[in-house]
């Protein structure tokens, strides 16, 4: 593994050991203005990683999920050459309810392109990392996607139905779309599990930059084709901003083509 990725992996592991796992099932949550949950763990992780990166990478600002929208927008506007993007606790609802599916996700973006990413699953002690142009790993082992067959109904699909128009859900449950369906409730882990071959099809209707920055790089470097869209759009949407994105991905290009045909974008309410 590249030394820079090793450094990020060590930082995430130390942070999880100090801030995340000791509080698991021992922390209270509250709701933010957008209705999502936040815990003291989210805030402690963001503070610890912010301080560590400021020490180790002076001059590179950090954009974190738990900052205000105004702070995030200012950082994007003034980031210049590089910016760190952090989700201190992806899967906060899982964490708050005792479900062991959560992660901390960190990406380095330079010139609007993600160049490094690291995601730690502290429950399983799995750190997924990638370097643009340099491959993807889980701990020290390279990872690749896996498909048990060439057709959609050979495959497992990870679909977050909560963030899709309810009127469109029945069409996604029709025959021929997938063998079975799962939902981890942690976007960063879903990208990583797709990259590591643990399911084959992916659809999520509302990801923010900190949700997908590291995970999508890891998946891409593993060999996963993917596309991002405006939530109700049908033309791929790339670029660095704070808007929501609908994510579609698959274990290989043939499956992605079939999956896009099956989904039939745009996913507007009918």
Question: How does pLDDT run across 136-168, given as a tens digit for each residue?
Answer: 999 999 999 999 999 999 999 999 999 999 999
The pLDDT tens digits for 33-87 are: 666 767 899 999 999 999 999 999 998 999 988 787 788 878 777 656 899 999 9
The pLDDT tens digits for 232-267 are: 899 998 877 888 999 999 999 999 999 999 999 999
| C-alpha dihedral (154, 158, 164, 167), degrees to nearest 10 | 30
Give all domains of the chain, ordered by start, each with its CATH number: 3-142 (3.30.540.10), 152-263 (3.40.190.80)
Residue length of the chain: 270
The pLDDT tens digits for 88-125 are: 999 999 999 999 999 999 999 998 899 999 999 999 99
- Mean confidence (pLDDT) of the chain: 92
d(CA 219, CA 210): 15
Whole-model pTM: value is 0.94
The pLDDT tens digits for 184-224 are: 999 999 999 999 999 999 999 999 999 999 999 999 999 99
Give every strand in the sheet of 126-131, ordered side by side.
62-64, 82-90, 103-110, 113-121, 126-131, 135-138, 141-142
The answer, yes or no, to whether residue 27 has pLDDT greater than 90, is no
């Amino acid at each position: 593994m590249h030394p820079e990725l090793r450094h990020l992996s060590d930082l995430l592991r130390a942070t999880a050991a100090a801030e995340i796992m000791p509080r698991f099932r021992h922390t209270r949550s509250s709701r933010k203005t957008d209705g999502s949950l936040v815990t003291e763990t989210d805030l402690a992780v963001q503070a610890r990683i912010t301080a560590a990166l400021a020490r180790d990478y002076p001059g590179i600002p950090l954009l974190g999920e738990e900052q205000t929208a105004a702070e995030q927008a200012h950082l994007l506007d003034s980031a210049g050459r590089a910016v760190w993007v952090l989700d201190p606790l992806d899967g906060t609802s899982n964490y708050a309810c005792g479900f062991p599916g959560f992660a901390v996700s960190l990406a380095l973006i330079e010139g609007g392109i993600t160049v490094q990413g690291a995601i730690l699953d502290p429950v399983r002690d799995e750190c997924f990392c990638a370097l643009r142009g340099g491959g993807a790993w889980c701990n020290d082992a390279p990872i690749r996607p896996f498909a048990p067959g060439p057709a959609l109904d050979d495959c497992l699909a990870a679909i977050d139905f909560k963030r899709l128009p309810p009127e469109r859900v029945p069409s996604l449950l029709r025959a021929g779309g997938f063998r079975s369906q799962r939902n981890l409730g942690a976007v960063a882990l879903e990208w990583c599990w797709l990259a590591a071959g643990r399911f084959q099809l992916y659809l999520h209707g509302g990801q923010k930059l900190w949700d997908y920055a590291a995970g999508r790089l890891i998946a891409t470097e593993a060999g996963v084709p993917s596309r991002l869209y405006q939530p109700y759009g049908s033309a791929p949407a790339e670029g660095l901003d704070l808007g929501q994105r609908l994510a579609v991905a698959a274990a290989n290009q043939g499956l992605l083509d079939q999956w896009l045909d099956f989904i039939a974008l745009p996913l507007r309410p009918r």
